[in-house]
Amino acid sequence: MIEIYHTSLILWIAIAFLTLLTLLKIPAPYGKFTNSRWGKLINAKFGWFIMEIISPIGLLYFALSGHTNKSTATWIFLALWTLHYLNRSVIYPLRQINPQPMPISIAIFAFIFNIFNGFFNGFYLGSIREYPNDYIFEPNFIFGCILFIIGSIINIKSDNILLRIRASRKGYHIPQGFMYRYISFPNYFGEILEWIAFAIMTWSLAGLSFAIWTIANLGPRAIKGHQWYLEKFKEDYPQDRKAIIPKIL
């Protein structure tokens, strides 16, 4: 069983690299890139709820139905993941203002992704790895926890700036302040930090697979979104702003 799990996980990571190459050519059709050629459009708030709530359900199901003893470290991993996804699936959609409708195909893809991602990480924590009680004193655990919290703050603060723009004006405008001074997508930057941090904390291939998938989804989207800003706002757009890594990309 464990062998099948590891082979599937390697395959899952290979699919992430193929997804990255695809998304560099075709941006996922939601938000700024939404279009109806990808199937019936549904309400984005409903889409976000359905496609994201399955992630903590899947993780907790596979983790808690497994036989491993759950140490403090394991409970912290489960809690951080669940808190992140309670924000993403419930609080975030409730706060969104007039988001673009989303093709049903995007919600279905994301739903399937979240089941696999929940399985790979949940099964690892529930049936493969037992973290000792003193794991919480390991440097990678402490560093990962701090980085996860920093990533979450950057992600939520940046999303809040976009939500505030939408609350005051219709349509898309140039976001200002905080990390928008340096990059067009600090919300994605923060999210990527979070899952790199999770991989460091858990020191696992399953955690690394999620970090790679997050980069595959959000890296190309930031590059395309940055080009979109430059074309829409032309010389009004801050020319020294990068897409997702300050001063670099």
Ligand X SMILES: NC(=O)c1ccc[n+]([C@@H]2O[C@H](COP(=O)([O-])OP(=O)(O)OC[C@H]3O[C@@H](n4cnc5c(N)ncnc54)[C@H](OP(=O)(O)O)[C@@H]3O)[C@@H](O)[C@H]2O)c1
> Which residues of the shown chain bind ligand X in the complex (CB under 6 A)?
31-32, 44, 96, 99-100, 155, 159, 162, 165-166, 172-173, 175, 187-188, 191, 214, 217-218
Q: Are strands 41-42 and 102-103 parallel, antiparallel or unpaired?
A: antiparallel
Nearer to ligand X (CB atom), residue 125 or residue 244: 244
Nearer to ligand X (CB atom), residue 126 or residue 225: 225
Nearer to ligand X (CB atom), residue 74 or residue 214: 214
Shortest Cβ 113–ligand X spacing (Å): 8
Nearest Cα neighbor of 81 from 43, 139, 19, 126 is: 126
Shortest Cβ 5–ligand X spacing (Å): 22
Shortest Cβ 106–ligand X spacing (Å): 10
Nearer to ligand X (CB atom), residue 66 or residue 246: 246
Alpha helices per DSSP H over 26-103: 44-64, 72-86, 92-95
The residues pairing with 41 across neighbouring beta strands, listed in sequence order, are 103
Number of neighbours of residue 158 by Cβ within 10 angstroms? 23
Shortest Cβ 100–ligand X spacing (Å): 4
Number of neighbours of residue 25 by Cβ within 10 angstroms? 8
